[in-house]
Amino acid sequence: MNMFLQFLGILIALIIPTLNGFLILNFFKLPGLSQRLKWLIAFLLGHTVFSLSLFIFAVWGFPLNIKSGLLIPVLIFPVLLLIRRLSSWRGVPVSQSDINSGGIHNRFDKLTIKEKLNLTSILLMICAGVLFGLIFTLALSQAASASPGQAVWGCKAMVIYKEAGIPVSLFTDITEPYTQQSYPLGYPLLLAWCHMCMGEFNDHLIKLVPALISVLVFLTLYSIFANESLSRTKSLLLSLLFSGNYIFIACSTTLYADNLLLLYTIQGFYLIYVYLKNRRNADCLYLGLFLLAGGAWIKNEGLLYFLLAVLCILILDFGKPRRREILRTYIPAIFISTAVCILPWLMFRYYLEIALYDFAFSMGLQLSTAEIFGILKQSALRALSNMFVRVGDNCGVWYALIFVLAFYGKKIAQNKALLFPLMITFSAILFFILIFVFSTRPPDWHLRSIQRIFLIPTALAWMSVGFAMKLSESCSHK
């Protein structure tokens, strides 16, 4: 019974930030998105604001407990009302076509349950049910697995929970191996908040959090494909194919933060994609960049994806005649996202002089050309083998992507929205190959976790394949 109550505690811990996020989301006009996707975005938005508020509370010396957590929605509500009053200038005109372009959720709402489901989709749903059932069972049936996740993230969460705050020793005391001290605190704060809602420290049940996040990833991918008017069967199939990725399963059953970062990035990139597709609703751009910046509050890797997104949208729109207008939209979006999600943590790190644990630019400068080429060659070979050889990590998606590029490359090149996820995918892979040059450790050390590095590019590749499927459907209709 106690275990059940603690499970309810975890659910409440996730629902409170979601409600908080939904409150904030109501200030944005997102007519092209389904209600399901809005709730999923609300979770991340709420979690970002919630964990940042907890961080600011801790920096100001307030104790972190369930009371301070519940205080956040109470404090945020008047602030939101004030913003609402002040921000009437930012009303974005929304056309009727935007309201109608809600993807299949509009079309499907009119159908009966019998019409909605066919045998294939029922089978796929059963497969997904089995997959996630096994993920939950595996997460709960093992005591300690993948100790880096447990130790890096779980340990920080435990210290935050037990100390009811963020002790400076968490970052400065080098004898305590809370390694990766430079890692942001978004995820440990979520875990600590779950412990607070459970009422006690439970390192066993806490592993349900990444499992629940993996379900949210599945639902997000499904909602994205459904929102792009792909059929239910295709949406389910593509979401299942990604969720069957072994490294995704591994991250779902341990305390790794990769699944949460994945959720941030796919939602952020999709919102930017929606903006690039219709160019009417700047709210999607604001939210997308905010979520990507929120990813930087989860892992340092998130900062890379945020920077890549900014770079790619600037490159895509560089030659536009209405450049000034675009810059007027982009610069505030980038500025707000950076100021809210990235700067507090960077300033904190600067204040405590916390350097990056594994990387230093001086390392790359010390290497000879032959050494640099050696590292690049090794990294590229491992990346390629991971992409095209490992069956368990769903290498099929990369072959599918080659197929898509071969047959629809010209059409994709003409469409900036479709080009965007592809640009991010390949630039991220390229960047990960290059960054090992600046590592303080031998590249082999990083390359052991290359599968985890490829989790987000793989998800983006699946998204690109899904969008291309829609493109092929529209081509065949013509």
Partner 1 sequence: MICSKKGLNKFHCNSFSQGEITTGNAGFSALGRDFAGSEQPAKKPPRMAAVPAGTREFRRDWRKFTVSFLLMACLFAVGYNIWRLFDGVNTNFADGFCNRLQGRFFTAGEGFSYQLIRLAKDKIPKGSRCCYWTIPSLQKEISTECRVLELNYYLYPITVYYLDDSEILLSDHLICDIALLSHLKRRLLELELITGVAQDFTICGQNEHTVVLKREE
How buried is 96 (Cβ within 10 angstroms: 0-12 exposed, 13-18 middle, 19+ buried)? exposed
Closest among 304, 321, 254, 226 to 32, alpha carbons compared = 226
State how far the Cα of 71 lies from the Cα of 77, in Å rounded to an integer.
10
By CB under 8 A, name the one of 116, 328, 377, 441 that touches partner 1.
441
| From 65, 120, 145, 233, residue interacting with partner 1 (rule: CB under 8 A) | 145
| Interaction of residue 245 with partner 1, rule CB under 8 A | yes
Q: Which is nearer to partner 1, 16 or 131 (CB)?
A: 131
Exactly one of 144, 360, 363, 376 binds partner 1 (CB under 8 A); that residue is 144
Q: Which is nearer to partner 1, 54 or 255 (CB)?
A: 255
Among 249, 261, 429, 453, interactor with partner 1 by CB under 8 A: 249
Instruction: Round the CA-based radius of gyration of the chain to a whole number and report it.
Output: 22
266 near partner 1, judged by CB under 8 A: no
Please, which residue, 206 or 291, has the CB nearer to partner 1?
Answer: 206
Is residue 474 involved in binding partner 1 (CB under 8 A)?
Answer: no
Q: Which stretch binds partner 1 (CB under 8 A): 19-27, 98-106, 176-184, 268-276?
A: 176-184
CA–CA separation, 381 vs 383, rounded Å?
5
Tell me the C-alpha distance between 184 and 55, whole Å.
10
Distance of CA 1 to CAs 5, 6, 8, 193, Å?
A: 6, 9, 11, 21
3-class SS of residue 328: helix
Q: Does 182 bind partner 1 (CB under 8 A)?
A: no
Secondary structure (3-state) at 439: strand
Cβ of residue 238: shortest distance to partner 1, in angstroms?
9
Q: Does 129 bind partner 1 (CB under 8 A)?
A: no
The residue among 335, 135, 143 whose CA lies nearest residue 243 is: 135
Binding of residue 154 to partner 1 (CB under 8 A): yes
- 3 scored as a contact of partner 1 (CB under 8 A): no
Choose which of 100, 147, 172, 385 interacts with partner 1 (CB under 8 A): 147
Nearest CA-CA partner of 332 in 282, 370, 382, 398 = 282
Q: Is residue 230 within 8 Å of 199, Cβ to Cβ? A: no
Q: Which stretch binds partner 1 (CB under 8 A): 26-34, 236-244, 266-274, 431-439?
A: 236-244
Q: How far is the CB of 292 from partner 1 (least distance, A)?
A: 27
Kindly report the three-state secondary structure assignment for every residue of 342-403: HHHHHHHHHHCCCCCCCECHHHHHHCCHHHHHHHHHHHHHHHHHHHHCCCCCCCHHHHHHHH
Span from 27-35, 102-110, 126-134, 297-305 in contact with partner 1 (CB under 8 A): 126-134
Instruction: Return the closest-CA partner of residue 180 out of 349, 340, 365, 382.
Output: 349
Q: Which is nearer to partner 1, 135 or 192 (CB)?
A: 135
Q: How many CA atoms lie within 13 A of 196 on its CB side?
A: 26
Under the criterion CB under 8 A, does residue 127 sit at the interface with partner 1?
A: yes
**What does the binding site for partner 1 look like in residue numbers (CB under 8 A)?**
127, 130-131, 134-135, 137-138, 140-145, 147-148, 150-152, 154-155, 158-159, 175-179, 203-204, 237, 240-241, 243-246, 249, 391-392, 394-397, 399-400, 403, 407, 441-442, 445, 448, 472, 476
